[in-house]
Amino acid sequence: MRIGATGMVTPPARAVIRTAQQQEAAGFDSVWWPDHLMAWHPQSIWTEEFTPLAARQPNAHLFLDMVACMTAAAVSTERIRIGSSVTDPVRRHPAMLAQEFLSIDHFSAGRCIFGIGTGEGENAIPYGLRIDRPASRVEEALQIIRALWESEGPVNVDSRFWPHRDATLGLGPVAGGRFPPIWVAAHGPRMLEIAGRLGDGWLPMLLAPDDYRARLTRILDARRTAGVDRAFEAGVWTYTCIGESKEDCLRLFEAPVYKVLALQLPAAVFEEAGVAPPLGPGSYGLDDFIPSRWGREDILGVLERIPPELVGRVILHGSPDDVAADLRALEAAGCEHAVLWNISFLTDLARLAPSFAAQAELVRTLQRPAAVPA
């Protein structure tokens, strides 16, 4: 299994370069950047009362541009792959995405991975952008991007969102004919089918192994049906919390700065656990939760009702051995590449250094072939 890490996303800019170099030196296979305007944490609880990070970074919503970070890391490293986790065609026009990721491909000498998904409500709705027909937008964006990449002459594409007439993109990949692989953040049936037909990889959020296997099967079936023979890499993206044990991490998950991450789960997951959906029936946090609209008392009232066990559904957690075992289970389900965002230190900065060391050891462990039972 290949292991990726999340790159630095906040100033100072030199930290973006330094962190990517440290991750390369530690043996990580890849480094990835989210594409955000807004963080998942409401500013109303981004205080020293809840996280010591607020003393260093008073604004929760502090993000450098993803393309700038990827480019800076690309020219400052030599081996590690450079990925987006993930961008979307809501804020970035497909033609611009085609050009941006070919540009990163050049700056990285062919190490770029183009991760794309439907986007989140928090990064679109407050800025006057629409997120309706999300799967259709991704599908048509990928069709346009591949047409611009692969066509030798002007491109004409009938699209309900971005019709192209006599459009051209002269820039090609740094290595002839080898375009950046497109990894799709797919979860629902329609997006899984799109990932199979138009993608080169898959980057869902954390799933249970059986669920992961079933969804990957749908992707591979779609590839076979469409006659796609491009190489494909199955990945997973997950928050990670490394502690002394799973119980140690669950105690941490009582804190609001961890509980808020569980709001990304769909309402059905809460209902299955016997918990009233915090955002209401039929809600889906990635679309419906806008952190900047939540005051302190309102968000704390919602988070109080979320049990730490549900927080554990979105965070890979436990001792290094626990996390390695969980990743091996995903590997057995077909996962080839795990991207880890270490958040072990949200309530205790002293955990930062040992957590990074533990992740580096995970890299060395998981890059070795799994032991075969006697």
Active site residues: 36, 120
Taking the C-alpha atoms of residue 234 and residue 194, their distance in angstroms, rounded to an integer, is 14
Check: CB of residue 231 under 8 Å from CB of residue 15. Answer: no
All residues at 6 or more sequence positions from 167 whose CB lies less than 8 Å from its CB, including other chains: 95, 148, 154, 155, 156, 157
Taking the C-alpha atoms of residue 60 and residue 37, their distance in angstroms, rounded to an integer, is 11
Residue environment code for 117-127, b if the CB has 16+ CB neighbours within 10 A, otherwise e? bbbbbbbbbee
All residues at 6 or more sequence positions from 319 whose CB lies less than 8 Å from its CB, including other chains: 242, 243, 244, 245, 246, 248
Residue environment code for 147-183, b if the CB has 16+ CB neighbours within 10 A, otherwise e? bbbeeeeebebeeeebebeebebeeebbeeeebbbbb
What 8-state DSSP symbol labels residue 334? T
